[in-house]
């Protein structure tokens, strides 16, 4: 018995020394690997369908189209245009995420034909009245968090790393997030969000994963549950397209004004 424990301790020691990896380093390594595997998609476009549910189960629908441009060495650019509800049809949102400085964001208001630069300190604010905050749907850059590997765990029969992330950017609504990262895809299957008081506020579940261009995994459905308000939001993606030749000119203020 004693011998067995000794061998176990010894092997753990060797394992740790060999890799010389702290939980923080391992967490970061997982994030870097996930980022590496998702590099090279160039650009994407898709349709987004959003279903908002209140605590009584009443539903409200949103429909939008979104385009994204990969920027190597900085955060990605994205453009979202609303089709539904009809009163906000034509409203468009342009975002340049940055890994080291605050993001740049512009909003186009079609009735006034006005482009407004808006503060990116709205990270914790709800996107379109949904349970998704702006920071939940913006591009997830490695530099925006610190990481800590917690454990290995199976989630719905799939092997996952469980890692903790803490936002390093200002104005986050969270103290930390715990993610279940699929070991095969290097994509999160579940994320738990802890609010500023460090209590669990939301859980995000990803499903309907599909691989594009033989490389890039995307969840075609995300369900966000708010445990405090009992409201939930489902986001579904359709018609995903990759590498259709979009350029940075398709993501400027002029492009924002001509989107319909």
Partner 1 sequence: MFYKKSFIFLLLITPLQFSWAEWSGSVSLEYRHFTEEPLYPNQHDGANSSIAFQPEYNHSWNNGRQLFSFIPYVREDENDEERSQADIRELSWLTASENWELRLGIRKVFWGVTESQHLVDIINQSDLAANIDGEDKFGQPMINLALIGDYGTLDLFVLPYFRERSFPGEEGRLRGLYPDVTRDAIYQSDDEEKHIDYAARWSKSIDVWDIGLSYFNGTSRDPIINPLMDGPPIFVPYYALIQQLGLDLQATVDSWLWKLEYINRDSDFESYNAATLGLEYTWFGNAESPSDLGLVLEYLYDDRGDSAATPFENDIFLGLRVALNDTQSTDALIGFIKDLDKDTTIYSIEASRRVGESWKLSLEARIYESNDATDANLYAIRDDDYVQMELSYYF
Which residues make up the interface to partner 1 (CB under 8 A)? 52, 54, 60-61, 84-90, 102, 104, 112-126, 128-129, 131, 133, 170-171, 173, 193, 195-196, 201-202, 226, 228, 244, 247, 249-250, 252-255, 258-260
The least CB distance from residue 141 to partner 1, in Å, is 18
| Residue 106: CB atoms within 10 Å | 17
Reference 154, options 180, 129, 120; nearest CA is 180
Complex with partner 1: residue 40 or 125, whichever CB lies closer: 125
Report, in Å, the least distance between residue 260 CB and partner 1: 4
Q: Shortest distance, CB of residue 232 to partner 1, whole angstroms? A: 12
Q: Among candidates 72, 122, 114, which has minimal Cα distance to 95?
A: 122
Pick 23 or 126: Cβ nearer partner 1:
126
Burial class, 228, CB count within 10 angstroms (exposed 0-12 / middle 13-18 / buried 19+):
exposed
Nearer to partner 1, 18 or 112 (CB): 112
CB of 44 to partner 1, least distance (A): 14
Query: From the centroid of its chain, how far is CA 251?
Result: 20
What distance in Å separates the CA atoms of residue 149 and residue 86, rounded to the nearest whole number? Answer: 44
Give the span between the Cα atoms of 234 and 253, in whole angstroms: 29
Do residues 101 and 81 make contact, with C-beta atoms less than 8 angstroms apart?
no
Closer to partner 1 by CB, 94 or 162: give it: 94
The least distance separating partner 1 from the CB of residue 38, rounded to whole angstroms, comes to: 24
Q: Tell the smallest beta-carbon distance from residue 189 to partner 1 (Å).
A: 21
């Amino acid at each position: 018995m004693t011998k067995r424990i000794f061998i176990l301790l010894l092997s753990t020691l060797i394992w740790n020394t060999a890799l010389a990896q702290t939980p923080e380093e391992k967490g970061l390594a997982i994030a870097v690997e996930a980022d590496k595997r998702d590099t090279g998609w160039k650009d994407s476009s898709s349709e987004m369908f959003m279903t908002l549910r209140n605590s009584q189960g009443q539903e409200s629908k949103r429909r939008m189209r979104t385009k994204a441009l990969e920027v190597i060495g900085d955060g990605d650019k994205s453009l979202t245009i609303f089709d539904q509800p009809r009163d906000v049809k034509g409203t468009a949102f342009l975002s340049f995420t940055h890994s080291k400085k605050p993001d740049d964001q512009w909003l186009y208001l079609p009735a006034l034909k006005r482009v407004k630069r808006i503060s990116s300190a709205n990270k914790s604010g709800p996107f379109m009245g949904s349970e998704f905050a702006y920071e939940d749907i913006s591009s997830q850059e490695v530099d925006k968090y610190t990481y800590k590997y917690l454990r290995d765990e199976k989630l719905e029969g799939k092997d996952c790393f469980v890692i903790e992330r803490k936002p390093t950017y200002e104005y986050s609504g969270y103290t930390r997030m715990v993610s279940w990262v699929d070991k095969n895809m290097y994509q999160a299957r579940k994320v738990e969000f802890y609010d500023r008081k460090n209590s669990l506020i939301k859980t995000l579940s990803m499903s309907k994963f599909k691989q594009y261009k033989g490389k890039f995994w995307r969840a075609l459905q995300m369900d966000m549950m708010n445990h405090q308000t009992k409201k939930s939001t489902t986001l579904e993606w359709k018609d995903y397209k990759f590498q259709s030749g979009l350029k940075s000119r398709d993501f400027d203020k002029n492009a924002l004004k001509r989107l319909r």
